Amino acid sequence: MAEKVLMKGNEALAEAALRAGSRFYSGYPITPQTEILEYLSTRMAEVGGFFVQAESELCGINMVFGAAAAGARAFTTSSGPGYSLKQEGISYLAANDLPAVIIDVMRIGSGLGDIFMGQGDYWQLTRGGGHGDYRTIVLAPNSVQENVETVQLAFDLAEKYLHPVIIASDAGIGQMMEPVELPDFKDHDINKFDWAVRGCKEDEPMRACQNIYYAKHSTDYPEYLTKKYNDIEENEQRWESYQVEDAEVVLVAYGSSSRVAKDTVDTAREQGFKLGLIRPITLWPFPKKAFAEAKAAKAFCTVEVNILGQMVDDVKLATEGKFPVGFAGNFFAIPDPDEIIATAKALLK
Amino acid sequence: MAEVRLPKRIMNSGGWCQGCGHGVVVRLIAEVLDELGVADKAIAVEDVACGSMSMSGVLNCDAIMAAHGRPIPVANGAKGARPDSIVYAHLGDGSAYSIGSAELVHTALRGDNMTVIVVNNTVYGMTGGQMAPTTLPAEKTASSPKGKDADRYGVLNVVDLIGKLNATYIARGEIYDVASTAKTKAMIKKAFQNQIDNKGFSLVEVLAPCPTNLHMTPVQCKEFVHTEATKFFPLGEFVDK
Ligand code: SF4
């Protein structure tokens, strides 16, 4: 039976991962994701899983790589600076067709940046971020309840495509308390995939977990890879539309800022200004299909917590450069509705 | 002619250079896995460098190729996911003692139950023989053509690095002749037996020739390892709990 409890976003993520059948976690402290590590440091043992506080994010992701190769539902968590360190392992996971879930509870800024709420990692999350030809599926929940549902989905998609999946949470959702319905526990069969290493009998062929380029394909590798990414782009775009059909300006926002953006749509409409909202739930693949619904739109405007408007280019691509695309952004907090409305109105001039 | 008997898990010879030590080490591992009766549940974790040629039709054993320097945490992950399997990391000195040194230190500090086999040939083999932390003083390499300046770079002995942490077993052997190879095999066997007995972290370093990058014949290189490398890397069992 599903239970309803009051939980912090980060802890709900952690609990939901266990309920999705994960029994392997390796992480490192960094604000604002540390509650996940702390929660699992005792909770993982209660469900009979493996927990380790690793010596670095590099170690954390490489342990996940080993566990994923052995067939486990494995995950790790971090925030901006630590996520950068995980890029090596994420590139290897992608290259080896290994399913795993990596959670980035975003903060703000490059380098050290700062520990407060931000959406500083859009570029590195959606462009691959590590070396080589790869991208990862990126899911962006915007509530504690959605955190919980997203973890299950993330593991399912990781296994469907044999690919790393990223959850782009943020300090806002991570730290907030909300009532949440926790799903029932699901079992994961570690022997579900024949490719997972486990030891082979003398007369059996060995399993080799390596670059798929070596392992399965050689000359047809580019074709294989292109198809994989095309399939994901075609099948996995996810979004929520709110008052989009008749909107003159459509806001585009995800995560914490989408909550304010949604309120802003209501406020603007009370004032007679027709705003709408597209909320990408997958940051990659970017939900290009959502933009077909914006039939009355004259302009689009992203709402983000960063300085350079990291999502603007994706909106321009999705709208084929036919419309002005504005950026209601703020480094220090989610822009307030008045600021967003003013920026959106200015686009119509 | 004496009959050539391959260990059960060895499928074929590898693509290593003539006189390379890696093939001997992989053969010893194969013999040990078979003698201990754990080959069926063994998982090898290889560094992307020369050692990983064992995955190309040499050793019939489930295997993971890890990023350079990361076989130890990857092996740790596989063991964590499948505690009943027998997991070992097989990597070179550059991987274990340079780029992967943090992971080595903390795995030994935690005393994680796994087996690590380091092949120390005093250089980076795969990239063409550059200087490593294990390169001997004055040894010429591709990135120390005038000889290693040991005052600046030092020489790293793994026993100094992790000997006082929580490893169960740390030993160093060579594969110079039949007798020394047999001793090294016994060390490798102990390192696996410890894992079977849940005793913790075991590391065996094997001094091995890389004739290609030391620009020597196989015989010269073997002699070099036996007489010169052992001055800085003495043989023996240093931790045995
Ligand atoms: S380069 Fe050195 S270590 Fe690599 S295969 Fe050749 S001899 Fe062996």
pLDDT one-digit tens code per residue, B161-196: 999 999 999 999 999 999 999 999 999 999 999 999
Ligand 1 pocket test: which of B50, B215, B221, B225 has the largest number of ligand atoms within 8 Å of its C-beta? B50
B233 in a structural domain: yes
A103 shares a domain with A85 = yes
A260 shares a domain with A171 = no
State ipTM: 0.96
Q: Which residues of A touch B75 (CB under 8 A)?
A: 66
A164 shares a domain with A45 = yes
Q: How many CB pairs under 8 A join A and B?
A: 139
A262 shares a domain with A154 = no
B25 CB contacts (<8 Å, ≥6 apart)? B51, B90, B117, B119, B175, B206, B208
B42 in a structural domain: yes
Q: What is the pLDDT of residue B6?
A: 86
Q: How far apart are CA A197 and CA B147, in angstroms?
A: 43
A157 shares a domain with A300 = no
Number of structural domains chain B divides into: 1
Domain that holds residue B168: 17-240
Q: What is the pLDDT of residue A289?
A: 98
Q: Which residues of A touch B67 (CB under 8 A)?
A: 62, 65, 88-89, 92
Ranges of chain A with pLDDT below 50: none
B75 interfacial to chain A (CB closer than 8 Å): yes
Q: How far apart are CA A139 and CA A76, in angstroms?
A: 15
A48 interfacial to chain B (CB closer than 8 Å): no
Q: What is the pLDDT of residue A43?
A: 98
Instruction: Look at A210 and B41 and tell me if their CB atoms are within 8 Å.
Output: no
Q: What is the pLDDT of residue A1?
A: 54
B219 in a structural domain: yes
Q: What is the pLDDT of residue A218?
A: 77
CB A344 within 8 A of CB A326: yes
Q: How far apart are CA A116 and CA A61, in angstroms?
A: 24
A266 shares a domain with A133 = no
A258 shares a domain with A304 = yes
pLDDT band at B5 (very low <50, low <70, confident <90, very high): confident
Q: What is the pLDDT of residue A217?
A: 63
**To the nearest whole percent, how much of chain B has pLDDT over 70?**
99
Q: What is the pLDDT of residue A219?
A: 85
Residue B1 has pLDDT above 80, yes or no: no
Mean confidence (pLDDT) of chain A: 96
Strand pairing category for A74-78 and A24-27: parallel
- Tallying the residues shown for chain A, one arrives at 349
CB B93 within 8 A of CB B118: yes
Tens-place pLDDT, residues B59-104: 999 999 999 999 999 999 999 999 999 999 999 999 999 999 999 9
B2 in a structural domain: no
Which segments of A271-317 are extended strands (E)? 275-280, 282-284, 299-304
Instruction: Look at B67 and A62 and tell me if their CB atoms are within 8 Å.
Output: yes
Instruction: Look at B103 and A59 and tell me if their CB atoms are within 8 Å.
Output: yes
Number of structural domains chain A divides into: 2
Domain that holds residue A246: 239-346
Q: Which residues line ligand 1 (CB under 6 A)?
A: B 16-17, 20, 22, 50, 121, 125-126, 210-213
Residue at which a domain ends, from A193, A219, A235: A235
A180 shares a domain with A308 = no
A317 shares a domain with A297 = yes
CB A37 within 8 A of CB A53: yes
pTM of the model: 0.97
A-interface mutation test, from B6, B82, B85, most A Cβ less than 10 A away: B82
A181 shares a domain with A126 = yes
Q: How far apart are CA A22 and CA A116, in angstroms?
A: 29
B4 CB contacts (<8 Å, ≥6 apart)? none
A278 shares a domain with A227 = no
Angle formed by the axes of helices A57-69 and B101-110, to 10°?
A: 80
Tens-place pLDDT, residues A183-224: 999 999 999 999 999 999 999 999 999 999 887 667 889 999
B10 in a structural domain: no
Mean pLDDT of the region B150-154: 97
Question: CATH no. for residue A277?
Answer: 3.40.50.920
B9, B39, B64 ranked by CB distance to A66: nearest: B64
Tens-place pLDDT, residues A47-62: 999 999 999 999 999 9
Question: CATH no. for residue B86?
Answer: 3.40.50.970
- Tallying the residues shown for chain B, one arrives at 241
Mean confidence (pLDDT) of chain B: 96
For residues A281-292, one letter each, b for 16 or more C-beta atoms within 10 angstroms of the residue's C-beta and e for the rest, the string is bbbbbbbbebbe
Q: Which residues of B touch A55 (CB under 8 A)?
A: 102-103, 105-106
Q: What is the pLDDT of residue B74?
A: 98
